[in-house]
Structure 1
Amino acid sequence: MTLLHAAWLQNSALPCLALWADNWQVATPIELDRLEAPPLHPLALSEPELSNWLQQQKLLPAGTQHLELQLSLPTRSNGLPLMAGELLPKQLEWWPWRVSALVLPAPLAATWLSKLPLTGGGNNCLSDELLWWSHLQRWVLSLIARGRWLPAVHTNRSGLASGRWEPLLNHESDRRRLEDLASRMPAAIHCANAPEIAELACMRPSAPRLQLAEIIAVLLDSQLRSDQATYFNEIETPKLDPLLAAWQSSLHCSAADLELVEGDCQRLASATAHWRETVAGRMAPARAVLELQVPAEGSELWQLHFGLQAEANPSLRQPAAAVWAAGAGKLQLGDINVADPAELLLEGLGRALVAFEPLGRGLETATPEQMQLAPAEAFVLVRTATARLRDVGVGVVLPASLSGGLASRLGLAIKAELPSGATGFSLGEDLEWSWELMIGGVMISLKELERLQAKRSPLVQHKGAWLELRPGDLRNAEKFCALNPPLSLDDALRLSANEGESLQRLPVHQFQAGPRLQAVLEQYHQQKAPDPLPAPEGFSGQLRPYQERGLGWLAFLHRFNQGACLADDMGLGKTIQLLAFLQHLKAEKELRRPVLLVAPTSVLTNWKREANKFTPKLNLIEHYGPKRAATDAALSKSLKGIDLCLTSYALLQRDSNLLSNVDWQGVVIDEAQAIKNAASKQSQAARLLAKPSRQGRFRIALTGTPVENRVSELWALMDYLNPRVLGEEDFFKQRYKLPIERYGDTASLKDLKSRVKPFILRRLKTDKSIITDLPEKLELNEWVSLSPEQRRLYTKTVDASLEAIQRAPLGKKNGQVLALLTRLKQICNHPALALKEETVGEGFASRSAKLQRLEELLEELLEAGDRALLFTQFAEWGHLLQSHLQQRWQQEVPFLHGGSSKNARQAMVDRFQLDPRGPQLFLLSLKAGGVGLNLTRASHVFHIDRWWNPAVENQATDRAYRIGQQKKVLVHKFITTGSIEEKIDQMIKEKAKLAADIVGSGEEWLGGLEFTQLRNLVALEEN
């Protein structure tokens, strides 16, 4: 498997990002002691291989140049380098290696990194360090967007001073982000620099932080230079500080040409000294702090006290008097010793003066301790100066009621409860509720607010607390009181899930739910699971405990008329839970109209069979095929007395007008990722058909894909389920998609998850509560139909072969029968196999329903990061499938077959079994790979074509299901309906003793069938 790596060249005149790649495989160890010069990296791609591979992956950057680099890499004792991207171990042995690399200057590197994903997802060619780089670049973009940068002076190693933009990282959240990224900095960041730098990074705890701060500065500076017109063209120069105006004009120069005169250097160096020290990791243990205290009784003057505050724990403070007493000695702040505290306080107060001019009156003495502020000055400090002071590294402590944020704004305190006797209740219905106005933690009436507003002072005292009144507060309160809006369950769900949510432009400070409403909200937020429901009357089967909980969850959301996405992991029985839910509705006499279920064509037969098996009392029809109803009258007639109607996504789009005229009680979509592209016609058709306003029909989506992590694809699913949750698409893009995908905004991601969590139930096989309910090995039949081309070829082959077999002499009959069975199995796999085609072309998957279903299952598997074994008895099919799957997912899919050499066989097994970044899929021929291998890294086994001998299949399955396996194993057996595969499968089930008796005899027993038996066996039947 090929993996892409990145290293930072900080020793060059212009810092660059270097890209190189290695192909992890068994390589010959090198005796390093005997080498006089650095050797070539034994696993690295050459110059042409690297370019070609990047082009194939659509990752080739523009404007790059090739260089041979010398990398200092940790090396194993056997003479092979460690995988780049591993975190630094405690002890390293560094050795030089030569690799071919593509070098990107910082501006190009920033553009290229912005296009990389934030997670590996299905693209396994990105190493851990590149994902780290991707997160770093998103943070740099966030710093730019938030204006967290200033001009500064940078002195290079030659002592020459030049100007550049540098990040402002004084904000607490940015400092935490810096520490987090520095702690996770991969070893590959250091490997392109001199060995002593790499070794230094291991020994000095602050080294990663120092180097990371420098990388951030380079990336930010290069992007601001290239985009300076975007950021500054709209700024009027006269409004700028003269130094900033000069700086703006100097940006027309390149980084190398930009020089500052000595005076400018000194001014910039002085203005930015404190936060540059913060970036470089030389942060002082304490900082200056200003503490605002409310006026004494009968006074209008506010008290502003000076002191020092611990950086690590802001609650630890010492007043200025203690600081001056300590002088140049040491001051104790909890467990922290602060050296030279007096100088630290003076330096901090000097910086504070720049951000808050009235402070100058309090600095007239040599040892200032406090000062008084007029009400207007106190208001400026509360409203605007506090943010500026914190930006320059000065702490500010305000009274609790003025501490900023939503709590200090005028808002609401709400009490709500479900209406008495409510059973069925939708999100749009109104609750019983009451409200009060609140500001700064204090209740206030409208009349009291009017009285305080009449004082025309921005800071007022009310019930012993000082409050900040804003110009629009009274107006917003009067509008709310006049409107007195209703409160729905939808509002309650949103307000209880997201702190700081607003109602009619007033933030909600307190939300108190009554007992009945609280129980509902806990179940919505999955803090408390809805009551499980046992298998309903008429359900033929037994539900496992987690399936009973899933049934209860579906019934709970249905009770409140909300769409539900059942996103259980593959193999946990989403089909069974949905069928049990429909049977529950029927048993409760709530299923009064037909339900439409939309699924990929490849699984329609599976739905029909599962419904007939588990819910035989559900009346079911298929809206599929040339004989389906074509008019409103015909469809209405066919749906009389029907509970469940099955159709495909293709027909949902094609027959959208016809289907939209039916009064469906509900719409269910299986493999819901099919509607992820909101602009596609089938996605639009599904969402239009399922609109909640249409006769109150329920909506359910089934998927094995973790949709809560697919930010850009989540909107279409939620628009199908509950359109009000995420709003219109344009709003969703601006509020969630752009902040999360471009800037990696964790707050927006948290908010998004809280909004969709109530409507998505996701359980994994790895959950302990689920594992205990699963069998050790779960076998699943994957029923698929034949494509039109397969059906034509199958029928033609049967007709021609039966005639030849009937005329054949007795000695040749068995051979011809087995040849026919083999050819029919090949047709069931793919027409290309039977037609002896040697390449895969456009539309290859569309020619085989079995391959389409395989792709759907593998999509879920790869998304979950699982590994799988794929068995086939045909080497030709394995080669075709290998080529197709590698093109489909752009990753290595090894194929072990009878022609594989011993060394190649072992290399493939080692990469799959031992390499943590090895291939996720492993193709094996049944004969060559069905015995003698230990492949316990796989948790899925696919029998693409059946050997028709349970013992042989079980032997192959046991490559994964054996001692050493840590995960539950899911075994998928593909069966094409109406074909020989289905009939042989039934014969094996009915004749279990016969199946046991033929262990080791292959399929020879089929050659002795009489002609009538053979004809019935191979005849293609209608589904």
Structure 2
Amino acid sequence: KTLTCFPGFQSAAKGDSTSGMHSLLSAQLKQKKATLSVVNVEALPDKGERLRTQVKELEDALESLSLAAASQPESSISQSATRTTSISPSCQQGGTILLPSPPVSDPVHHQASGLHLSQGYAQMFGDAQMHAFYGGKMTHDRLLAVKNATCEAIDHLHKSLESCPEPEAEVPDPSGIKVTLLAHQRRALAWLLWREKQNPCGGILADDMGLGKTLTMIALILAKKIKAKEEDQRKEEKKLQTWLSKTDSSIVASKGTLIICPASLIHHWKMEIDRHVKGGKLSVYLYHGPNRERSARVLADYDVVVTTYSLVSKEIPVKKEEAHNPTKDPEQVPSHSAALLRVAWARVILDEAHNIKNPKVQTSIAVCQLRANARWAMTGTPIQNNLLDMYSLLKFLRCSPFDEYKLWKAQVDNGSSRGRERLNILTRTLLLRRTKDQLDSRGKPLVLLPNRSCEVHQLTLSKEEQAVYDVVFAQSRSTLQNYLKRHEGKDLNSGNSFSSNPFDKVAKEFGMSQPVSGVPRQASSTVHILSLLLRLRQCCCHLSLLKKTLDTLELQGDGIVLSLEEQLNALSLSCSPSQSDSDPKTMVALNGSRFPSQLFEENSQSTKISAIISELMAIRDTGDNQKSVIVSQWTSMLKIVAVHLQKMGLRYAVIDGTVNPKRRMDMVEDFNTNRKGPQVMLLSLCAGGVGLNLTGGNHLFLIDMHWNPALEDQACDRIYRVGQRKDVTIHRFVCEGTVEEKIATLHKKKKDLAQNVLSGTGSTITKLTLADLKIIFGV
């Protein structure tokens, strides 16, 4: 049937292929969206309503055309699908953090034959043996089954909202808890209990960092153990018995909860349970260390077992091809398998669940293999980069059919308004998010916290520092220009996927392709540009950082692990045996320019160090026993700060990746409770930016800027959280006229994305682009 109902649509000739019609519709859709993006719709008589309607109709037509394409050869279908997913998403303004009311759910279409709807529906409820919807030749029946399963799942989720507790509905504190839950925690508990009666069982607790998610989850464990309703018990036992009937005796049923967290938090969980739960109410075992318990039956007897992501990744074997397919519970588990895999848990909780945001990594695949009745993801930052982060969480939750990557991309993450509606339903149903500044229906704050302010210290580099920065900047700019001459229009537009290179993570953020394999690394390589960018950021902090090799720990945040020589073959920093009259011992050569060597010594006060010292002196002079937390992404920078703290006579402690979990918690306790303890806590952004409670401090210094603003937000919430009694000040330091100002702009872009996704209206454009690089370097 010829499609003729869209304004401006030209009928296809009789001999035109479906793919040709698809291209024509895609072009019209792109044109309409472009018009929407540049026209002031408020000035139009209908406020742009007609244009938006046309966009929606074109999107629907393209979706219908995909079904029609099934009658063509497989190659045709493949080409059509490729074009469909390449349409640029329409950029809509983000809403508030409160999720909007759901739109009308997708209509359920009647289906023909092939994979029946009941099969797709069964898969949604966890049928372990169902096959993926995509794969092989996608016939008309199979494409129709995909659409039917999607509609059925969305309808089911939408209908479940009818029984969802009201936003301010509360349940009483569970028996056995020693503290009184705050109102927002009792409301969250009501929602958690509701989700454990739904399918999929569990969800995402995405409350803002510092709102007490840990205590809320402990309350859930207590409530389900002590006050679980009989029908819930029967349902869980029935599911466990189903597993046991299909498997050998190596599977052990448990009523316990498995908690998986970063290694830095394993002792924190036990301490929180000991602190907030009456003795004997919950038995806790830390599955950690070389002498850990190996018996599944012993582990199954505990109420709570706490382990780490790294240990799960190490013990559970995975196959890389499982990354994008729904996870199945195998009918048989070998008796020699890891103990964690041989227990059928009542629930599995992922703390700091953004650790599995990449579905391809071993950790992400491994946690999905665990058997559980309920699955929970806890994270204050469910979206850090793009919608792939959300897919990873849904895969862990086994939210079928959206736990299949190809279906997720085709039906949700496709840039269409229909896809955004489906995402909206998913987030409204499966995700609970409240923020610290949120108000309830009476206009009162969700949680009473002290005031928080942010001071941005605009700094001007000294004359000498600016001269060094200019040398590095000029080299970086030249490198980028050479790169553009060789690669623009080639690798950048090829659409080639990235391999698992060490610098891929950052290269992806910049929208760049990696150098061609086998080509010698030259100064104008992608990795060299990124290395120079990192050096520019270090110039803004302290010039002594330029002397240091870029070690692995410091570069993990940027995804670069190459040596200094490999990365900076065109930027040399060394003592200069110059033929000038100057003393060669006091001069340093940097890319042909010469500077006093004292600038590059740790005991030299850089502009940023001077500003930090000045603020710390002012805080000490108040005599109010105020404490500070200083955060850097580079441990080498923390060591430099420590040198100057010693000069001041300030007591300090350091938490980085070298501090073991037990020692870390002791240091946190000393900082929070001992008035004569450390006055300053030096904190590594990646090692200490999550999970720690540092409410003993009320000043936080972000002394350098990371590309990922979510990491910085996590660090800020170490001190601004439930339990803080003093007003909090966040200190940011930005050197004017440097790359740091550009990073601040990019931060806003990523934060807007995260909020848009959580409000159900987000687009998927997140990577830093080549245009961003051109802006940074003025090319």
TM-score (norm 1): 0.31
Structure number with the higher strand fraction is: 1
Pair member with larger Rg = 1
